Chain A
Amino acid sequence: MKTNILRKESILSGIKRVILTLLLPILLYLVLVLTSFEKFGKFDSFIMTINQSMVNLAIGWSMMFGISVNLFDFSVGSRLVLAGLIGVHFSQKFGLLGLILGCVVSSVLLGSITGLVFSILKVPSIITGFAVLLIFESLGVILSKNMVNAISSEHLVLAKGFNIYILIVLLFIFVYIMYNHTKFGFQIKAIGGNERVATSMGINTAKLKFLTYVLGGFLVGFATILYVSNAGTIQPKDGLGSMSIAFTPIMGVMLGMLIKSCNSVVGVFVGSWSITIIGSVMVAFGWESRLQNVIVGIFLIIVMGFQLNRDKLFKPITTKKNIQTNN
């Protein structure tokens, strides 16, 4: 009886929701299939697009909590590179475990440092991000000077075969629970909605924002493992070069959060996947691959423009309805 207190979703509307959620990537993939059924009709090709989105997905999840509380931190890339370099270094000494712990522990530390700088200085997250980015990039360059950046191929197993799915599913469960089923997640969303009101409701905004950086760092650690294992290499970047690592995942997150038919955690997956497919479409059309960011940018503007102006777009229809009801 008690279950009836709360509204239950019917199976039909559940199916509708799933279709709505996956509509975008499926449509995009159909474009690929239309260009060449022979090449993209294969299940392997379909799976490949999912695999390709995994690294960006992990980075996206790590940024999602921050973005939820309006923290935009472009230092993610520099932290990933630095944590990756440290992880690779440790892998040479302690093997796979060295890689995992090296990446995760250093990333949590770097995230905490960034959060601390943010909390102490109380400057906007973007500025904090740039400041620490410059430092972390330099540190990465210094570090890589005195060490060999090579990771041996036996330590790349985490991104191979089924391992990547296991890792991603574990990450998904963790992120999903953190975002939807913990006090932390609830309060994060409250702050993101209206910080002033949230504070007056007794939510410790400053502490939670700091924790967001720490949690973000933890997740960046796993994203780093995937990043390194996937490409088989990690190269230090300087001159703000690390920033581009964050761009594609941010687009995935923004797109994901616009998808209202599903939970944001799933949304980020759908967003990242969609953007990955757009990249593949570029190549399939024989366009320059570097046009990808341009296309994704335009795509994002269209989607956001649609989202933000949806009310206006549908206004003529609703006012008509009002008139009818008035009569």
Chain B
Amino acid sequence: MDKTPIIEVKDISKRFGNTQALKKVSMRVHSGEVMGLIGENGSGKSTLGSIISGNLKADEGSMLLHGEKYAPQNSFVASENGVAMIVQEQGTIETITVGANIFAGREGKFVKGGILNRRQLNIEALSLLEKIGVHDIRPEELTNNLSFEDRKLVEVARAFHREPDLFIVDETTTALPQKGREILYSLIKKIKEMGKAVIFITHDIDELIMVCDKVTILKDGSYVTELQKSEMDPSLIKSLMVGREISDEYYRSDSDYDDSKEYSPALIAKNLSTDRLKNVSLEIRNGEILGLVGLSDCGMHELGKALIGYYKDLKGSVAKANGVKITNTNVAIKEKIAYVSKDRDSESLLLSASIKNNINLPYLDSLSKFGFYITQSSENKHASFWSKKLDVKCSHISQPVLELSGGNKQKVVLAKWLGNESEIFILDCPTRGIDVGVKESIYHMLVDLKNQGKAILMISEELAEIIGMSDRILTMKDGELTHEFLRDPDLEESDIIKYMI
């Protein structure tokens, strides 16, 4: 193909804090092509899509659109240049009508003498919806009244209004039911026939193979390879996506499931259901590390929260072995259940508060004298003991947590729960965004806790970590537990992936 590609991405790099999201990634998409973009979570595929669509700015590298230099300031500029993206999370304004959403920011088109012609706007919105094959959404309807799927379609209509040259679809299909998916597929086909291009970001390999002409595979922010339609094979793609080596010394030294031990149950969950979880039952046992693995949106993070009583509308039951039902997070803390959120900064820490205050927070009741009076010295004693024990690198325990590195922040979180004498640990991605050294110490600590007979649930997106650390592994897909593995030296990542994707 000698034609100028519609978009050419050259050596794009992007960092988020400590994480290198993209490392010198290059890609070309030609007219009439549907390019798939696939990779594990954190592989940088969505980041790349966001950079092309102007939602993010690259740190390094350049882009050419129709052979001309292209560096959009924001998504609006991108869409003016004919690049539109539909993202996974919601992008419509609920309080205004469908028509107003479709033409938001472009109302000027319908203004004559200062007055906006509402009728004209609605008529055009309607014809646009019809054009993309949506027949049951009315433009004068309040967007709030639509289902999530229909709102997604409104976004598609909005993106399609300009008939973009490059259409980026980021994991949107997961939000759509079959009907919506078909609309989207036929739309992609239409765009392709019109000689335009599509970048299709997904983790669904079957869908990818069906829709795409080519696929670019990313891993850990790096370009792996590009496959032609004829080369696309599910197992090949899978192994290219996740094929990474495990460095052994990192994790536990023992490699077999110890079935000689009696594992007494610590926390029992029965038939948990929310809008994301489907009838999940599991048991966390004392002296055992239970690994839970799946794709990011499979519901495992929600399951972690469900176990501490976070959801009010949870169906099913969570109970400690002593019979106490975990109905809300307060009960969970009282029952010595520790929870470390994946979103550390906003859910596990008070960022502007000191290390001391963070560590002492769940333990305040035990620190107080006569049930209410807390002395400075008891506060300091408790906090400094635990921060030393976990080797939190800080100038002083009254330093704000804000100023710590990711790894040290995580240590504070763990110190908080260890200090609270927790018995059950629910750790959601405990090593996320943490450098190797701290990672290792966290793994060591987990083994210590296990040996002390504590019960641990480790939720992770990193297969290597799960295989390296867990006694038992549960896989999750679409809100359901799909398989249970026991610790085994021969266990391969590919064995587990089968149950995840």
- Residues on A lying within 8 angstroms of B by beta carbon are 2, 5-7, 177, 180-183, 185-187, 189-190, 192-194, 197-198, 200-203
Contact = CB atoms under 8 A, between A and B. Distances in A.
B179 interface: no
Contact of A6 (B111, B116, B117, B126): B126
A182 to B, nearest CB: 5
Contact of B122 (A6, A180, A182, A192): A6
Nearest to B125: A6
A194 B94 contact: yes
A6 B140 contact: yes
A197 B118 contact: no
B95 A192 contact: yes
Contacts of A180: 118
A177 B115 CA distance: 7
Residue of A2, A182, A186, A201 with most chain B CB atoms under a 10 A cut-off: A186
Contacts of A192: 95
A183 B115 CA distance: 8
B228 to A, nearest CB: 35
A7 B116 CA distance: 19
B55 A7 contact: no
Contacts of B105: 187, 190, 198, 201-203
Nearest to B54: A200
B406 to A, nearest CB: 26
B76 A202 contact: yes
B114 interface: yes
A189 B116 contact: no
B123 interface: yes
Contacts of B139: 6
Contacts of B76: 200-202
Interface residues of B, number: 34
A54 B93 CA distance: 33
A182 B114 CA distance: 6
A6 B115 contact: no
A193 B97 CA distance: 11
A42 to B, nearest CB: 40
B100 interface: yes
A37 B101 CA distance: 50
A201 B76 CA distance: 6
A181 B118 contact: yes
B94 A200 contact: no
A30 to B, nearest CB: 31
Given A2-B123, A186-B107, A189-B93, 5 more contacts: A6-B138, A187-B104, A197-B92, A200-B74, A200-B91
Contacts of B3: none
A5 B126 contact: yes
Contacts of B381: none
Interface of B: 55, 74-76, 79-80, 90-96, 100-101, 104-108, 111, 114-119, 122-123, 126, 138-140, 158
Looking at chain A's contact residues, the main secondary structure is: helix
Contact of A183 (B93, B111, B123, B138): B111
B126 A200 contact: no
11 contacts: A5-B126, A180-B118, A186-B96, A186-B116, A187-B104, A189-B96, A190-B105, A194-B92, A197-B90, A201-B76, A201-B158
In the A-B complex, the 8 residue pairs with the closest CB atoms: A202-B76, A193-B93, A193-B95, A202-B105, A201-B105, A183-B107, A194-B93, A201-B104
Contact of A186 (B55, B80, B104): B104
A256 to B, nearest CB: 15
B309 to A, nearest CB: 20
B74 A190 contact: no
B119 A6 contact: yes
Contact of B123 (A5, A182, A185, A189): A5
A262 to B, nearest CB: 14
Nearest to A183: B107
Given A193-B94, A202-B76, A186 B123 contact: no
Contacts of A5: 123, 126
Contacts of B80: 202
A189 B116 CA distance: 14
A7 B93 CA distance: 22
Nearest to A177: B115
B100 to A, nearest CB: 6
Contacts of B158: 201
A200 B76 CA distance: 6
Contact of A181 (B79, B116, B140): B116
A202 to B, nearest CB: 3
B55 A197 contact: no
B93 A182 contact: no
A101 B95 CA distance: 37
A159 B140 CA distance: 38
A182 B115 contact: yes
A183 B118 contact: no
B104 A183 contact: no
Contacts of A200: 55, 74-76, 91
